Chain A
Amino acid sequence: MTEHIATEHAHSLVQHQFEDAYQQKEAATLGMWAFLATEVLFFGGLFVAYTIYRHQYPDPFRQGALNLKWYLGGINTAVLLLSSFTMAMAVHAAAIGSNAKIIRYLVLTIIVGGAFLGIKATEYYIEYREHLIPGLNFAHDPPSEEEVGPFVGAFEKVQGWFDRVVPPRQKEEKRSDTEEMFFLFYFIMTAIHATHMIVGIGIMLVLIWMAKHEMFSAQWHNPVENFGLYWHFVDIVWVFLFPTLYLLRQP
């Protein structure tokens, strides 16, 4: 029953310049990959700049990375991988033509993606209280325990448990200018990544609206499919950001 209606519906959605739905889908996928190629090179430029500076100043960059709460970054990586999974399930729901399932999995993806942004915001707040933001409040002297407050202090304590394996940064040690440069890279790269996620959540809200109006079918669901590509790409960027920014722990 739905099969027939869906086919009719899909047929009307093949625009006149395309032979059929398959060709239309192929064109959309290629266009999306061309866009993603520009994104790869956009983030790639940042990674190249980061690598050059890290090669030039290995020790200050390591000192900078030791200020980050790497376990929060690790939790965030797991959270983002999970959101990629729920996104893949949304695309699967689209492929079998179930608008209700698309909505369910997109809402899940928004929740998990929102959790990522929440943890990221918490990290930014911790770094703000620890005076690590270049141009705003970067201080060469690390603030004392009273200055950062009990909230940030709790995260410091958890970091202390993890730091038993690797010697942590000396608290009273002065921060160098090069360390400030590490934080410049850290904030620009993670903020651009977070911006991509916020844009993604906005697009997902539109997709949910479209699914609510039964616009997708097994034959035509290119927006869901292509948004999936975008979301997975954002996930890949973080997969590289996590080890490059958080895991520089060895001398």
Chain B
Amino acid sequence: MADEHDHVVPTQVYARVLAVLMLLLVVTVAAACLDLDHIFHAPYWNMTVAVLIAITKAVLIILFFMHVKYSSRIVWAFASAAFVWLGIMMTLSLSDYTTRNFPEGSPTMPAVQTGPEIIRPAPRPDAVVPGASAAPLPHTAPQRTPAAPPA
């Protein structure tokens, strides 16, 4: 019973997979030394290439080292489920965070977002201003909203 299901993978397969994995490691380091974003005139090229190589390596390890290629359908289902749910977590989280805070007039994603906007309240019209000057002090000046006209 056991013999017809057990598939003993020949060791040459492992050796070849190891050779390909090492080759991909060299490729990923080489790709990181090149400014691919500049070469292809588009953002995220370096990141995409690095992630694609990593996924290729992971798939090789899962299929051959982890024997999923030779396993039953239900093992395929369990193994895929893990990564499908990871994909859902990634996609939904990033679809939110990558589409926030577009600065005015920028053609692409924001380069650097320093933090949440601080909106200071306008000083109360009846506030007692030391020095009795008409203009509000610099540190109480509203940053984002126009000052309310004095009553």
Contact = CB atoms under 8 A, between A and B. Distances in A.
Contacts of A225: 67
A92 B9 contact: yes
B2 interface: yes
B58 A250 contact: no
B94 A51 contact: yes
A85 B18 CA distance: 7
Interface string A78-107: 100110110111011001100000000000
Contact of A236 (B61, B64, B109): B61
A214 interface: no
Given A40-B86, A78-B25, A30 B5 contact: no
A116 to B, nearest CB: 14
A41 interface: yes
A92 B1 CA distance: 19
Chain B CB within 10 A, most for which of A57, A91, A250: A250
Interface in A21-37: 21-22, 25-26, 29-30, 33-34, 36-37
Contact of A22 (B2, B22, B28, B81): B2
B33 A236 contact: no
B122 interface: no
Given A36-B82, A57-B112, A20 B8 contact: no
B8 A96 contact: yes
Contacts of A36: 79, 82
B78 A165 contact: no
B18 A165 contact: no
A177 to B, nearest CB: 11
Contacts of B35: 250-251
A44 B89 CA distance: 8
A184 interface: no
B58 A59 contact: no
Interface of B, helix, strand, loop or mixed by DSSP:
helix
Interface string B38-55: 100000001000110110
A25 B67 CA distance: 13
A33 B14 contact: no
A83 to B, nearest CB: 11
Given A21-B2, A48-B90, A77-B25, A40 B97 contact: no
A249 B36 CA distance: 11
Given A44-B89, A251-B35, A92 B94 contact: no
A199 interface: no
Nearest to A237: B58
A165 B33 contact: yes
B56 to A, nearest CB: 10
A106 to B, nearest CB: 15
A198 interface: no
Interface stretch (B68-76, B133-141, B142-150): B68-76
Given A243-B54, A247-B29, A37 B97 contact: no
Contacts of B58: 236, 239-240
B75 A243 contact: no
8 smallest A-B Cβ distances: which pairs? A37-B82, A247-B32, A33-B78, A243-B50, A40-B82, A44-B86, A85-B18, A165-B33
23 contacts: A10-B2, A20-B2, A26-B75, A29-B75, A33-B79, A37-B81, A40-B82, A40-B83, A40-B85, A48-B89, A52-B93, A56-B97, A70-B32, A74-B25, A74-B29, A84-B65, A92-B11, A92-B14, A95-B9, A96-B8, A232-B66, A239-B57, A249-B33
